[in-house]
Amino acid sequence: MRIDVVTIFPDYLRALDLSLVGKARTSGLLDLRVHDLRDWTTDRHRTVDDSPLGGGAGMVMRPDVWGQALDACAQPGAHLVVPTPSGRTFTQRTAEALSGEEQLVFACGRYEGIDARVAERHRAAGGRVSELSIGDYVLNGGEVATMVMVEAVARLLPGVIGNPESLVEESHGAAGLLEYPVYTRPPSWDGYDAPEVLLSGHHARIARWRRDEALRRTAARRPDMIKDLDAAALDKHDRAV
């Protein structure tokens, strides 16, 4: 998969050189390119913003500069992702859908955002556009949100996670539940004992305990997820583990 990120702070994205995403890049599973938006400015001051039409506070990112940048980075059919607190919420389902694309282009806005015609023009040219929010809070720009989304998408690409089974059991995975609590050795630590069932070697009892804990956790922390539970999918998932 190819991912292009356009930003006025390319250094922000350095963290994507590390860990699993970094490895996916060096092994060729992920072709990630980070670009400085100012490379497409034409004035001496390398200006990327201007005051909002209609007045008001802050600055808006200029469509002409963004247009040049996207023309240079986006291949035909590229899916443009614009991180913004006014977008639809990015979820694991969104990550799954985006992981099937050939090219994603992340347009990181700053200030009051990017002139709306940039998205409009990409759509009119037949490209898809997703304006996405990573949660109900406001960040200073799209860079951190882009890192969140790139990591969530990249770990779904075939070969990026060593053991793909670890994708099945995790929170927001196939079961639609939060993940159960996990323990490792030693079984007794500083007066705290791990649940005995996990030492029993009894696979069916362990699976039942994990399922109960996942349900308990989900009901307590995310009651909104319980109403979306699909009982048939849950049973099918139980039989598979």
**Nearer to ligand ADE among residue 84 and residue 218 (C-beta):** 84
Nearer to ligand ADE, 144 or 241 (CB): 144
6 binds ligand ADE, rule: CB under 6 A: no
- Give the residue with the Cβ less far from ligand ADE, 139 or 157: 139
| Binding flag, residue 150, ligand ADE (CB under 6 A) | no
The least CB distance from residue 206 to ligand ADE, in Å, is: 38
Q: Tell me how far, at minimum, the Cβ of 223 lies from ligand ADE, in Å.
A: 23
Q: DSSP per residue over the chain, as a string? A: -EEEEEES-GGGGGGGGSHHHHHHHHTTS-EEEEEEGGGG--STT---EEPPTT--SS-EE-HHHHHHHHHHHPPTTPEEEEEEEEEEEP-HHHHHHHTT-SEEEEE--BTT-B-THHHHHHHHTT-EEEEEESSSS--SBSHHHHHHHHHHHHTTSTTTSS-GGGGTSSTTSTTSSPPPP---S-SEETTEEPPGGGGS--HHHHHHHHHHHHHHHHHHH-HHHHTT--HHHHHHHHHH-
Beta bridge partners of 192: 189
Q: Give, as ranges, the residues between 66 and 85 that touch ligand ADE (CB under 6 A).
A: 83-85
Q: How far is the CB of 95 from ligand ADE (least distance, A)?
A: 14
Binding residues for ligand ADE restricted to 28-57, rule: CB under 6 A: none
145 lies in the site for ligand ADE, by CB under 6 A: yes
| Per-position x/- string for 105-144, each x denoting binding to ligand ADE as judged by CB under 6 A, each - no binding | ----------------------------xxx-xxx--x--
Pairing outcome for strands 60-61 and 49-50: antiparallel
Nearer of residues 138 and 231 to ligand ADE, judged by Cβ: 138
Q: Which is nearer to ligand ADE, 13 or 134 (CB)?
A: 134
CB of 149 to ligand ADE, least distance (A): 8
List interacting residues with ligand ADE (CB under 6 A).
Answer: 83-85, 133-135, 137-139, 142, 145
